C-alpha cells in the first residue's frame, strides 16, 4: 500500500474508532489494531493525538466534498423532483451507510470544545462545505446563496443529529419521510413563495 493510501486508510479507520469507541477510545494503538497495520504505523503518520484528530477532520471534509461532487449535477432548476430525490438520497446515505462518519463528526465536535486547534480545523472544513453549497444554490438562482447555504447545512445537521444521536435515533429510516423533508428544505433554501414546492 502506497503512503498516501495508507494515510487515508488510517484516518478513515480513526473515524471508525471515534464512532464506535468515542473520544476516549481514540488512541494510536487502537487505530493500529482496527486498521490492521503494524504497531506504530499510526504514530508514524500522525505523531500526536491532535494530528490524528486533524486527519480525521480532513477526511470528513474530503468525503463531504465527494458527496457534493456527486449531488451537484443532479440539482437543476428545471427538475424539481430530481432535486428533492437527490437531497433525500444524500440524507438516506448519511443515515445508513454513512452513519459512522457522522457519529465521528459529533465526537470531533466535542473535542473541538476543548481543543482550539481542532476547533480551527472543524471551522475551516465547515466553511468550505458551506461555500460549496452556496455555489450550488447560486447556480440555481438563489439571491442570498451564502445565507441560505448556512441555514440549509444547519438544518441538515439538525436532522442528522436527531436521527443518529438524538430523541428520534431509534426510528427507522423512511424514504418517503426524507423526500417530504427534502422538499420543505429546498423550498426554504430556494426562497420559494409560501406554500410552493420545488
Structural domain includes residue 79: yes
Lowest-pLDDT range, 13-22, 68-77, 160-169? Answer: 68-77
Q: Is residue 23 in some structural domain? A: no
* Domain membership flag for residue 22: no
Task: Give the contacts of 194 (CB within 8 A, at least 6 positions apart).
Answer: none
The pLDDT of 31-48, averaged and rounded, is 96
DSSP state of 78: T
Question: Is 60 exceeded by the pLDDT of residue 195?
Answer: no
Gyration radius of the chain's alpha carbons: 18
Q: At what angle do helices 49-71 and 28-35 cross, to 10 degrees?
A: 50
pLDDT at 155: 95
Q: Is 126 among the domain residues?
A: yes
Query: Minimal CA–CA distance to 149: which of 161, 163, 135, 165?
Result: 135
CATH number assigned to the domain comprising residue 82: 1.10.357
Please indicate, yes or no, if residue 14 is contained in any of the structural domains: no
Q: What is the pLDDT of residue 183?
A: 92
Distance CA 94, CA 193 (A): 29
Is residue 117 scored above 60 in pLDDT?
yes
Beta-carbon neighbour count of residue 176 at 10 Å?
Answer: 8
Residue 195 lies in a domain: no
Side-chain-side CA neighbours of residue 119 (13 Å): 6
CA 104 from centre of chain: 10
Q: Which residue has the cell 480525521?
A: 56
pLDDT, tens only, 156-170: 999 999 999 999 999
Q: Is residue 26 part of a domain?
A: no
What pLDDT score does 163 carry? Answer: 96
- Quick one: pLDDT at residue 58? 92
What's the average model confidence in pLDDT over 29-35? 97
The pLDDT value given to residue 193: 46
Least confident range from 70-79, 153-162, 176-185: namely 70-79
By residue range, what is the domain housing residue 138? 53-189
Structure confidence at residue 128 (pLDDT): 92
Question: Residue 198 — pLDDT band, cuts 50, 70, 90?
Answer: low
**Taking a C-beta distance cutoff of 8 angstroms, is the pair 91, 176 a contact?**
no
> Terminus-to-terminus CA distance in the chain, angstroms?
46
Q: Is residue 25 part of a domain?
A: no
* Residue with cell string 476543548: 114
Predicted local confidence at residue 192, as pLDDT: 56
191, pLDDT greater than 80: no
In Å, how far are 14, 56, 106, 114 from 101, measured between CA atoms? 10, 10, 9, 21
Domains identified in the chain, total number = 1
Residue 1 has pLDDT above 60, yes or no: no
Amino acid at each position: 500500500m502506497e503512503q498516501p493510501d495508507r494515510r487515508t486508510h488510517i484516518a478513515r479507520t480513526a473515524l471508525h474508532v471515534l464512532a464506535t469507541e468515542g473520544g476516549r477510545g481514540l488512541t494510536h494503538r487502537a487505530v493500529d489494531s482496527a486498521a490492521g497495520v503494524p504497531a506504530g504505523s499510526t504514530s508514524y503518520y500522525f505523531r500526536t493525538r491532535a494530528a490524528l484528530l486533524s486527519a480525521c477532520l480532513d477526511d470528513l471534509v474530503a468525503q463531504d466534498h465527494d458527496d457534493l461532487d456527486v449531488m451537484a449535477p443532479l440539482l437543476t432548476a428545471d427538475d424539481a423532483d430530481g432535486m428533492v430525490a437527490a437531497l433525500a438520497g444524500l440524507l438516506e446515505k448519511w443515515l445508513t451507510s454513512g452513519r459512522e462518519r457522522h457519529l465521528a463528526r459529533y465526537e470531533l465536535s466535542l473535542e473541538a470544545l476543548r481543543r482550539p486547534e481542532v476547533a480551527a480545523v472543524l471551522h475551516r472544513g465547515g466553511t468550505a462545505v458551506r461555500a460549496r453549497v452556496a455555489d450550488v444554490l447560486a447556480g440555481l438562482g438563489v439571491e442570498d446563496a451564502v445565507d441560505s447555504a448556512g441555514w440549509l447545512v444547519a438544518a441538515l445537521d439538525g436532522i442528522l443529529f436527531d436521527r443518529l444521536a438524538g430523541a428520534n435515533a431509534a426510528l427507522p429510516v423512511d424514504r418517503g419521510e426524507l423526500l417530504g423533508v427534502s422538499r420543505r428544505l429546498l423550498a426554504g433554501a430556494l426562497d420559494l413563495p409560501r406554500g410552493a414546492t420545488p
